[in-house]
Structure 1
């Protein structure tokens, strides 16, 4: 349960508000309601406001009574509304609205979006949100939004293209695998799952390639496209959640997973029966889809999954950010320096925004690029985002690689995710062993969302990757 103390001295929507009834009556006594010009559905009364009821007494009830937000959204969906725009400085309710809409109408086309975001509240953000509506088929009066452009606006394809591709290209969609006796996982890297009836285990399957997941092409080491260790961790965590074992007690990367430049890879994640300690074994395998029948699978990861996560530690980034005594670190040239050492990060993996140091601690802010933000909610922790967090450890927490070597994740220990879907993170990293770091990970407002007890980093020669993993 994620909780955070807020700076008020009474509890809204409880009997505490009744202590203020007299004072509020005096302050709001002269407020008179009028019939709204813009149709308004009240979350207090659960109906359309069609008169002047929104006087002082209404606003007292608004503060005292429960907020019937979910019921209001359900009523609007029932009336046929399918487009919801949260007009606020930070869209915190869009997820809740999406859940309600999905519960009521299922797969019926609908659109839920915000207007502005925290630390991104300018006109560009607002116009981007309007464009998001436009490419989803919602009419936008552009002449009212950008009047100076009237008469010179060119029509664009009404689909959300990116980079320089202006032609329609069908993306990968998960087929109805139920007819084949499989269950749908609903994860970008895993499409289906089958339970093993006589072994109390499960096998998760998926396919990845540079074409289906182009952001992976932005993660190259010594010129080779390498599936980041954070993605292998994501696979294990997601499989663990499906079977009720969401904690990664241990995960060892035995062989780096290289992506072919052209071919596609089959992925399998196996979860076995609980051992005598109550933990389940987990492994990740791959093989090329264009390989001849009988080609053996390569095991890249093995480890153990555990049950209920530990309680989150104190919110290290909630009270004061950056922390008191932390000194800023200059980042100019950071990615150029990494490229010179063999880490070739493209835009999707250049998420490190700010770094501070305090003694042996490293603090950082990381964020997904705009084009990947919409995908964040589909992952437990987006691999590109968590990889950016690991990049920060190079600035004071991680061991130093020798000349001609790069450091790669080798062993994850005691990884607990408390909340998923973040698009930006705050990080605290410390060295916990000569070859390992520990991480505390919070969201953009400072609430801890994940913890890594330790991550052991292993040096590998820059020329060794071509001889391990799946050949390119």
Structure 2
């Protein structure tokens, strides 16, 4: 109320918004325009006080909670208790997209808690606005430090997540630091000069990164089709290349509202491939050329086409036959996302389970028989380790794939790749791809 006065029918809503933002940023903001406490409250009793400056809101091992009251003159009495949302779970994915943010979602705080630099995103309307915002952010952080004595990494990561969700204005910068002191030094540099301390090469180049399965959603690419001729033309080229291998329409899948295709690997993977290839063409039309490409699992097929290592026709052949072969494995396997590093996971894997993908430090995907995956998830959850089933019924990157090796090699017989000025980094070998390396054997190893 001291911020904006009476809000009549919206009474209490601004309080809810304020506390939601406080939960999100892990900070309690100062109460504005209320420097003199009301004499009608016995402030000496209990531990209640006005906040005259922002203070960090530390979790202390429990979920953060807040109460918001709305007492209307007409007799309306409401008290709402808010609790911070639980940690977001990984979306369904075939590989390293597991644990990534949903569409339109800020980076998750949990992903920033491991050791390593934390990014704080700063933006403003022009150079002066950017520098001013950096100065204000530095002042806020120092006030939080002074109030708490020191801020922990969870607070730093929470602020990073909150900043990533703010409006991206015209002038933007990112400051990086392993701790609050490094971040503040960068903020001070940005506030003074308009540029953060340099932490990269002068000519880093551009890399296009293509994920595995898991990023699909209803309506994907729908708005781009009529609005972006470059996207539509490249997608039409992909559709023509897919036609000999599929009995469905790429354009109809993207334009429709049915959900059934989300559960069909033989539709999901070709659709994702076509959208990725078409989006890359949009970037190129805007003048953004890749110096290198990299992809994981089926994302490598799109990477190969965009790099010029495979033709669109050969890329369509690989993704269509690869996903069709996976249908033979349906019902025989399962996959799970586990919040441990590869070495730790390999030490506890039962039976025939294997590490299918290493997404990041402390984040892997395992695959194998459904009962063994289920048993592992229950056991790890009981030990306090996050382990979640992925919504697939087959085991990619597992020995079960050997059952479709002959089919896949036969379907891709005669496939050849080409040289290109665009470097393609292989997630199969960890090395740059050779000019003629992307043959049937490579694509089998990509799935195995």
The answer to whether TM tops 0.5 is no
Higher strand proportion (structure 1 or 2): 1
Per the normalisation by structure 1, the TM-score is 0.30
Per the normalisation by structure 2, the TM-score is 0.32
